[in-house]
Structure 1
Amino acid sequence: MIINEQIKASEVRLTGIDGEDLGIVSRSEALALAKRHDVDLVCLSLMSSPPPCRLVSRSAAKQDRNAQKREEKRKAQTPKEKEIRLTPHIEDHDYDTKLRQIEKLLQSGHAALLTVRAQSKESQQAKALLERLVSDLKGKGSKETGIQVSGKGAAVKIIPSE
């Protein structure tokens, strides 16, 4: 957010405190008007010429600036990857519970790493369980990696759908 003296344009399209259009005025005149009313001059966009600016109360400008910083900080955080462990001999009720847990993770924006611990002879059951989970989660998440089967189990990473 560009405010007051940070605005470098020689002329600005000015909007008043109550939203009234004040037309195109010089930067110095707009700054003097802002100082006279004890408000900030805030530039809304740099993409047009002259840039649209608005007179905003100091507390509102500060709140907007803080909200923008919080939003940038939230977007900069990487989504966490949570691991959900299963067994190939899972019962239906437990399966439904794990499915709801995975759906909550995906809705909150986290990725889910689904791992099935199995012995080598149960690896096909583990793969079938993961395929069932992936098909049940269609629309809520998608596979980032394919199902990886190893000697001690199988794993797949599911990321939230946009």
Structure 2
Amino acid sequence: MPHRMGRFITVSFLPVRRTYRPRVIKPTAPAYRVNRQITVPEVRLIDENDDNIGVIATAEAITKAEQAGLDLVEVSPLAKPPVAKIIDFSQFKYQRDKEVQKAKAKQKKQEIKGVRLSTRIGTHDRALRLLQAGKFLDEGHKLKVELQLKGREHQHKDLAAEVIEQFLVELRKRYKITVEQPLQKQGGRLSLVCYSGGKIEEPKAEEEV
């Protein structure tokens, strides 16, 4: 309310009260629907022995799971109809969580390791680079093969590319190599990135009769 004081008017304001609104937290959908969380009318049932029972009513599948003392878990919700399996859900979830953690650890551990070549690399140094590259691949890392062009080598980049390709040929004698990033030139450097799908088994020597 305004108050008149001589020639001056003072105005006082009442504090504005804000209405408290509690934050609404949306429940997250379960990763797997279990038992009566499965709301579709029918499912394709896989029993506890991994036998394909076929398409049956969801209520009947739940009853079968209860009779077996286990759970009915919807393992393929996008299938038509969804695929549900009779299993111990706690054990199933433990195994899946373990697999996810293992995959994350592997992804975190994997790095891109590099080896550098040159157009004038000698036989000894080349062998050392192959050993180094093999070590990286054995550890599960991706491999970046680089070659720095110098001086007149810029005019003969085909020769540099051939050095890298020949290096890959040697690696492919021991590893199942997949090229993730094809050979490319950036500035004065040629490079490619590859990884291994495992070692190539050496043929066993035939035993003498």
| TM-score interval (norm. to shorter) | 0.5 to 0.7
Residues 155/79 of structure 1: CA separation in 2 closer, same or farther (3 Å cut) = farther
Q: Is there any run of 5+ residues in structure 2 with no aligned partner, and where?
A: 1-30, 198-209
Deviations 1:111-136 (CA, angstroms, capped at 9, x unpaired): 414143x7535666887455213233
- Indicate the percent of aligned positions where both proteins have the same amino acid: 24
TM-score by length of 2: 0.54
**Contact kept? 1:11, 1:27, Cα under 8 Å:** yes
1:132 counterpart residue number = 163
C-alpha separation in 2, matches of 1:89 and 1:98 = 13
Give runs of aligned pairs for residues 1-162 of structure 1, distance below 5 A: 2-4=32-34, 5-20=36-51, 22=53, 24-45=55-76, 46-49=78-81, 51-70=82-101, 73=104, 80-87=111-118, 89-105=120-136, 108=140, 110-116=142-148, 119-120=150-151, 128-129=159-160, 131-138=162-169, 140-142=177-179, 144-148=182-186, 150=188, 154-160=189-195
CA RMSD of aligned residues (A): 3.9
Find the aligned partners of 1:124 and 1:93 in 2 and give their Cα distance: 26
Specify the SS of the correspondent of 2:97. helix
**Offset at residue 55 of structure 1 (A):** 0.7
**TM norm structure 1:** 0.65
Q: How far does residue 78 in structure 1 lie from its aligned partner after superposition? A: 10
When residues 20 and 137 of structure 1 are mapped into structure 2, their CA distance, relative to the original with a 3 A threshold, is closer
List per-residue Cα deviations over 1:57-93 (Å, max 9, x = no partner). 2354124422552476479769632222345553312
The structure richer in helix per residue is 1
Aligned length: 157
